[in-house]
Chain A
Amino acid sequence: MAQRDVEAVGAEEIHEVLEAAPVGMIKVDSNGRVIFTNRELERMFRYSREQLRGAPLDVLIPDRYRVAHAEHLRRFSEMPQTRKMAVGRELFGRRSDGTEFPVDVALNPVVSGNQPFVVASVIDVTEQHESAKQLTQLAADLKERNEELERFVITVSHDLKSPLVTMLGYLGHLQRDLEAGRIEEQQEYVQRIRRAGERMKLKIDDLLSFSRVGRDGVEPSMVNIASVIQNLLDLKSEELEAKHIRVHMSCTTEALCCDPSHFERVIDNLLVNAMRYGCANPSPEVWIQVRQLPDQMVELIVADNGTGVDQKYAERVFELFQRLSSDGEGTGVGLAIVRKIANWYGGRAWVDERLGGGAQFHVTFSINRRVPVEEKAPGLPGQSSEIKPAQPQAATGTSGRSPGATL
């Protein structure tokens, strides 16, 4: 009697353990009928015990796997052994509402009353699945970043070696001439060496600016667009006058929330570009336009009536060290900086043809660029800066030979 009590308590405990198990448990007969399920399995698949009891196992399997699964079950019945299911493949369960979720299944054959059965444990691995997907994505992003960095290093080292070849080459000539007492060309060698050194310095400065975009000292504030442009035009007034460049300006939006140095840099680089390459026309003109776009975006357009940019190279001009001219001016970094800043502000930069001839550069910015936590430089305020959309205030003007545009 006492022995039977112990056996009875044992069976009850086993049942309790099965019911309370944190993994789903299921027992299926050789025809694929459900004989037993525990609470966790029912919760996982959103079925009641009554719905599952005697039901075909297929109800728990997504339609597309059913045929293959029946075959797997048949093979398992022929050679039953304890094992994990579908090692190396993803398995999915199907809930009563038809939704699917990733599962991990282990199988164990049992014989009860001379009848073969399969007992399986089922674990919902949605979280692991998501983590694995995120890890895969992170690994892919990291790989891409590394490749980008490698390309950057190759490009930079290639381009910085160029002035070094020049300097060391002419130093060699200089040394040889000094030793031989020849003086005719020494001055020329020295000039070439100095120019190469200056070019190298400009390139290094521009590269540092390029790499710093979005990394340090970002201090967003409300920037008065028209006054920034006017200040730059004032600074360049002598050069504009000397090159007889007429500047036209139209500004229908007032303010932008960004680091003022970023906006200045974009305008400055585009203006320098327009003044350098857009002046092939005997009556050179530059148009600067700032306008509000939908979706809280602002567009800056800088156009000229020069030779324009062949659309074949419209993308290339924004790449690091890519230039369309062999005039020796410029470092090939300016437009890359423009694009990097635009991207940082959730916008983009591109060039097309101005109606009537010439190049037309466009840069868009989000006026409420929020600074993500990971992009904040140390010492930045904890909250993101935001401004209310500015009330458009039309300001248009055309300057004559003097660049002092009317605002």
Chain B
Amino acid sequence: MTGNLRPVRFLLVEDDDDHADLILRAMMESRIVNVVERISDGESAIKYLQRAAPYEYAERPDVVLLDLNLPKLNGHELLAWIKQNPSFRNVPVVVLTTSAAEVDVARAYTSQANSYLVKPLDFEQFDRMVRSLQLYWAVWNTPSRA
């Protein structure tokens, strides 16, 4: 552990505005500086990663936070796309979902998700989870060591 904390660039792929807002609030309340870009569907996330229009400005994320239940291309399909793409397969993907179903967990890990987190119903737990998440990636900021 280096302790060398630099801002972590998160790509949050989440279609639910409220959940995205709750995640951002929890992140902002911690003292860790992050950059968070939010995209609300799987197809747009691919465009973002590829810097295709209208995301020409996009910067490569350090970590992708991925909801599973997305419109169009769903989270599982996006995860598979990222992990099969030589340009992005090293980007850590943390699945962040309401589903605790074994079938979803197994499928996500088979597709090489780096972590699978179930959104807690408890507010304090939710906050703690998001803060731990960003602290973890702020410390372990080198994707290849993830």
Contacts and interface: CB of A to CB of B under 8 A. Distances in A.
Q: Do A and B bind each other?
A: yes
Contacts of A166: 16, 18-19, 22
A165 B22 contact: yes
A15 B24 CA distance: 93
B121 A168 contact: yes
Chain A's interface: helix, strand, loop or mixed, by majority? helix
A326 B41 contact: yes
Given A162-B69, A313-B72, A321-B69, A326 B18 contact: no
Given A154-B101, A172-B126, A173-B25, A324 B71 contact: yes
Interface string B17-47: 1110110010000000000000011000000
Nearest to B72: A324
A196 B16 CA distance: 10
B123 A173 contact: yes
Contacts, number: 71
Nearest to A153: B101
Contacts of B122: 168, 172
Nearest to A175: B123
Contact of A310 (B16, B72, B123): B72
Contacts of B98: 158-159, 161-162, 165
Interface in B115-129: 119-124, 126-127
Contacts of A162: 16, 19, 69, 98
Contacts of A11: none
Contacts of B126: 165, 168-169, 172
28 contacts: A154-B99, A154-B101, A154-B104, A158-B104, A159-B98, A161-B99, A161-B119, A162-B16, A162-B19, A164-B121, A165-B19, A165-B22, A165-B120, A166-B16, A166-B18, A168-B126, A169-B18, A169-B19, A169-B22, A169-B126, A171-B123, A172-B123, A172-B124, A172-B126, A192-B21, A313-B72, A324-B71, A326-B41
Given A166-B18, A310-B72, A322-B71, 6 more contacts: A166-B19, A171-B123, A175-B123, A313-B72, A321-B69, A323-B71
Interface of A: 154, 157-159, 161-162, 164-166, 168-173, 175, 192, 195-196, 310, 313, 321-326, 328
Q: Pick the 5 closest A-B CB pairs, nearest first.
A: A172-B123, A326-B15, A166-B18, A326-B40, A161-B98
